């Protein structure tokens, strides 16, 4: 089961991707998480990616594509995976299709978690991320047990630079320009499924599980 999650930043695709991965025991591959781990570890890739991420821009395709193609070729991806945050441009989608075609494989589902911009702006301001382990929370929708402290590792919580209001607006315009064309791309491929991302997390998940026929 090879699944791509589409949707604007803050639509909740990461939350749903994690739930899908857990239910079907397949890896959750988030390019945003991979970049953030690289930034934290001070790698060359992290340094390059950070300059784009902090401005709400996409990291150039050439820094993303090989990384993802290598990852989906690993042993644990044999029975499928959920890609969260990739592809984000038409060239990335084409590169993925080409790499999979060489292995005689293809993407099975592209799930669009659909949320209007105004809901996104409201949601993102409440997002908090753990400085230590990267776990994400929401002041209103997914609060931690203790204020400002990560439930998983006890680390401190911050509003990520890329979740700040100015950056969110930039990310939304980048999304509409560069990522939304993927909706047509996967519609044409006959694998696009849309779910209403304004519903409760569990309701969105139920809709996705139904689409996946499980």
Active-site positions read 13, 88, 127, 160, 171
Is 152 marked as a binding-site residue?
no
Residue 109 touching ligand AMP (CB under 6 A):
no
Does the annotation flag 127 for ligand binding? yes
Q: Is 134 in the site for ligand AMP (CB under 6 A)?
A: no
Secondary structure element (H or E) that encloses residue 177, with its range: none
Q: Taking the complex as a whole, how short is the minimal distance between the CB of residue 179 and ligand AMP, in angstroms? A: 9
The minimum distance between CB 99 and ligand AMP, in angstroms, equals 14
CB 198 to ligand AMP: min, Å: 18
Beta-sheet pairing, 136-138 with 127-130: antiparallel
Q: Is there binding between residue 80 and ligand AMP (CB under 6 A)? A: no
For ligand AMP, which is the closer residue by CB, 80 or 85? 85
CB neighbour list of residue 133: distance below 8 Å, 6 or more residues apart: 150, 152, 153, 155
CB atoms within 10 A of CB 192: 18
* CB-based contacts of 84, cutoff 8 Å, min separation 6: 5, 13, 14, 17, 28, 29, 30, 31, 32
Rounded to whole angstroms, the Cα distance separating 25 from 8 reads: 25
Q: How far is the CB of 213 from ligand AMP (least distance, A)?
A: 26
Q: Does 28 bind ligand AMP (CB under 6 A)?
A: no
Pick the closer one to ligand AMP by CB: 83 or 150. 83
- By CB under 6 A, is residue 31 in contact with ligand AMP? yes
Neighbours of 111 (CB within 10 A): 27
Closer to ligand AMP at the Cβ: 73 or 146? 73
Q: Output 184 or 210, the one with its CB closest to ligand AMP.
A: 184
Burial of 163 (0-12, 13-18, 19+ CB in 10 A): buried
Q: Do residues 82 and 26 make contact, with C-beta atoms less than 8 angstroms apart? A: yes
Write out the two tokens for 66. Answer: 């090989």
Q: Binding site for Zn(2+), residues?
A: 130, 133, 150, 153
**Residue numbers at the binding site for ligand AMP (CB under 6 A):** 9, 31-32, 35, 52-53, 57-59, 64, 85-88, 92, 162, 171
């Amino acid at each position: 089961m090879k699944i791509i999650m589409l949707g604007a930043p803050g639509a909740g695709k990461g939350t749903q991707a994690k739930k899908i991965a857990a239910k079907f025991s397949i890896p959750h591959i988030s390019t945003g998480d991979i970049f953030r781990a690289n930034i934290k570890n001070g790698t060359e890739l992290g340094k390059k990616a950070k300059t784009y991420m902090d401005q709400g821009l996409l990291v150039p395709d050439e820094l993303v594509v090989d990384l993802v193609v290598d990852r989906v070729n690993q042993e644990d991806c044999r029975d499928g995976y959920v890609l969260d945050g990739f592809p984000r441009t038409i060239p990335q989608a084409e590169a993925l299709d080409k790499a999979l075609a060489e292995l005689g494989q293809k993407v099975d589902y592209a799930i669009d978690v659909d949320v209007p911009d105004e809901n996104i702006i409201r949601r993102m301001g409440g997002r908090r991320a753990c400085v230590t382990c990267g776990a994400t929370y929401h002041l209103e929708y997914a609060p931690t047990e203790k204020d400002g402290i990560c439930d998983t590792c006890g680390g401190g919580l911050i509003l990520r630079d890329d979740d700040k209001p100015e950056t969110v607006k930039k990310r939304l315009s980048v999304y509409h320009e560069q990522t939304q064309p993927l909706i047509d791309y996967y519609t044409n491929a006959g694998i696009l499924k849309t779910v209403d991302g304004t519903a409760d997390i569990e309701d969105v998940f139920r809709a996705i599980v139904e689409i996946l026929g499980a």
